[in-house]
Structure 1
Amino acid sequence: MTLHDRFLIKVPASTANLGPGFDSIGLALNLYLTLEIEKHDQWECYSSCEELKDLPTDESHFICQVAIKTAAQYGIELPPCKIKVISDIPLARGLGSSAAAIVAGIELADAVGRLQLTRDEKLLLATKLEGHPDNVGASLYGGLVVGCYQQNEVDMLSFTNLPFETVVVIPKEILLTKESRDVLPDAYSRKKAIQASSTANLLIAALLNQNWSLAGKMMEQDCFHQPYREPLIHSYNDIETFAKRNGAFGVALSGAGPTVICFSEKGKVQNLKQALDMEFPDMTVKQLSIDYSGSSVNEVKELAK
């Protein structure tokens, strides 16, 4: 093996929507998808993570497919790689597992294929694959992101140094994004659209102004998706009520669900986590911080063997 033939790619999880920011607001969280990559004579993917063991082990693996197709768009045929996949992002739980995989595949193509893509170019590629920029944007940029995708362009801003933390409550059941999208209406009235967009606008203003009670109020007043999806999450109302009684200023579905994300000011989050742990022992409760770095790629420098 020669110098620079090994890479380490790390991509954070994400939560999207935060209530009314449907398909446009995302937040990077400190759970990670990590790829350990080395050039190889054939494509090989493997993982010791129980949840990932049934995924393909050859080039049909989703991450490999994203990487191969991305490189092909630039006229590059990627050399095969051996990839160890490590992830603490639960699958199909509303924490951006598919978005993280898309970003990881694009980063893999860029690193191994020497594409020299800018972050904005990676964002457009990822958004085209995902269909919206919230999760992929958060995983790429880190922090709180607000994005717009139209006419084959993505515009996005990322905000950092936000003094709140989160606790996620993860039910055991999975909820596929397609299933949760199927319950949404095909169209909204003008009155409903105005109400929904103004709620999202005020949510962002409240978060940046650190007006936590107003931010929580706007999360509850979403009309884009939560009223239709909450019935699919049997414990949502119980989690929301309990969390707000125990220090959360806001509660929302994480992405399409079923994970419920609770927002708390710094200093209050540990007590919130402990209370939720005791109240919902059959669910996984995690205290998470905002990831401000986004995806990273590092060459592992080794001497030739």
Structure 2
Amino acid sequence: METGAANILADSGRGSSGGDRSFSVRVPASTANLGAGFDCIGLALKLYLTVSVRIVPEASDAYRLRIRGEVAEGLPSKAKNLIIRSMRFTAEREGLSLPPLELDVNNELPLARGLGSSATAIVAGITLASLVCDRQLSNETFLRYAVELEGHADNVAAAYLGGLVVSCIKPDGRVLVVKRPWPSELKVVVVSPEAFLKTAETRSVLPSGVQREDAVFNLQRVALFGAALEAGAYDLLWDAMQDRLHQAHRQRLVPGLPEALATPPQPGLLGIALSGSGPSVVALANDRSGEIGEAIAENFRRRNVLATVRVLEVDYEGCAVTALA
């Protein structure tokens, strides 16, 4: 039986005690910012981290972990694994003890490419801790823990709730979120160069302050972005996805990235931006999605940087739990 993020324990075997219990948690990738929406807009995508877990009361070790899928060798095991760290963090904050577990991790996301790989691990870990400890977490508590682990809300909110999510962190740490509809006719094209950029690295290149005119520039465009989506005024998305706060500083980190972001307008291409902190590029299209992706990727390939093109659908469900027989 599968259930969405807001009812993680309601239909997943809560209250069953003793013996083995098994769950599967699936968390979508996400793209963040979409240009001007720095640290406040996230969009969930149909590319997944799936973790199956079994409680094994008879096990002598705390965790047995198997990792498969995209760059499995890049995912640390045991204590350094972000899924397990997030589980431990949640259990400690809730005053709970984790039982011995077997975890099978299947990852479809490229790591450190601006597609929310750390957010998927955090959301999966918090969810698994709540499941195996029979502790229902409110959305407010869940997102607070996720932001404490991640440092920002855009990716974790989208991965948890699905769809297009606008988020805001209050001074007391509470996270405010609004989930917005996404037009089905808008396709999401993601071009990922073979280059790793950790968020901490990409944040270190940002200036400590911004000019007022740059702040106003982004405020105008992030407001325009939401209004254009709601009104179906897709011809405005090109301007609405422009940015002056972060992209110019981050694009210098990868050869070909400045040229990729400067891909000129063409039929079907509605807007283009850095995906999260990069190095992936995200484009919105209503036609010729594959051709647009290849045109963007060619900018990397001319600089001898391999690039993968993905045309992805939006995930509307967010974190999904299945109770396994």
TM-score normalized by the length of structure 2:
0.85
Fraction of identical pairs, as percent: 38
- Displacement of 1:54 after TM fit? 4.9
Match of 1:73 in 2: 93
2:78 alignment partner, SS class: coil
Bigger Cα displacement from structure 2, 101-110 vs 244-253: 244-253
Bigger Cα displacement from structure 2, 235-244 vs 119-128: 235-244
Paired letter, 1:172: E
Bigger Cα displacement from structure 2, 255-264 vs 38-47: 38-47
2:39 alignment partner, SS class: strand
CA change 1:256–1:232 in 2 (3 A) is: same
Unaligned runs of 5+ in 1: none
Paired letter, 1:261: V
1:23 alignment partner, SS class: coil
Match of 1:232 in 2: 253
Match of 1:285 in 2: 309
CA change 1:60–1:258 in 2 (3 A) is: closer
Q: Structure 1 residue 297 and structure 2 residue 317: aligned? A: no
Picking from 239, 242, 265, the partner of 1:244 is: 265
Picking from 198, 202, 220, the partner of 1:176 is: 198
- For 1:158-197, what aligned pairs fall within 5 Å after superposition? 158-163=179-184, 164-197=186-219
Paired letter, 2:277: A
- Displacement of 1:78 after TM fit? 0.8
Asked whether the equivalents of residues 46 and 53 of structure 1 are also in contact (C-alpha less than 8 Å), the reply is no
CA change 1:242–1:161 in 2 (3 A) is: closer
Distance 2:100 2:128 in 1: 11
Aligned residues: 299
- Displacement of 1:159 after TM fit? 1.3
- Displacement of 1:58 after TM fit? 2.5
Match of 1:213 in 2: 235
Distance 2:144 2:219 in 1: 23
Distance 2:237 2:147 in 1: 27
1:86 alignment partner, SS class: strand
Picking from 36, 40, 45, the partner of 1:20 is: 36
Match of 2:55 in 1: 39
Q: Structure 1 residue 5 and structure 2 residue 21: aligned? A: yes
2:252 alignment partner, SS class: helix
Asked whether the equivalents of residues 164 and 182 of structure 2 are also in contact (C-alpha less than 8 Å), the reply is no
Paired letter, 1:299: A
Paired letter, 2:49: L
1:249 alignment partner, SS class: strand
1:104 alignment partner, SS class: helix
CA change 1:186–1:193 in 2 (3 A) is: same
1:196 alignment partner, SS class: helix
Distance 1:230 1:46 in 2: 35
Distance 1:250 1:237 in 2: 15
- Displacement of 1:107 after TM fit? 0.5
Match of 2:5 in 1: none
1:115 alignment partner, SS class: coil
- For 1:48-197, what aligned pairs fall within 5 Å after superposition? 48-49=68-69, 51-151=71-171, 152-163=173-184, 164-197=186-219
Distance 1:130 1:122 in 2: 12
Distance 2:97 2:39 in 1: 33
Asked whether the equivalents of residues 67 and 75 of structure 2 are also in contact (C-alpha less than 8 Å), the reply is no
- Displacement of 1:213 after TM fit? 2.1
TM-score normalized by the length of structure 1:
0.91
- Displacement of 1:45 after TM fit? 1.2
Distance 1:155 1:286 in 2: 31
2:29 alignment partner, SS class: strand
Asked whether the equivalents of residues 44 and 315 of structure 2 are also in contact (C-alpha less than 8 Å), the reply is yes
Instruction: Give me the CA root mean square deviation.
Output: 2.1
1:298 alignment partner, SS class: strand
Unaligned runs of 5+ in 2: 1-16
Paired letter, 1:216: W
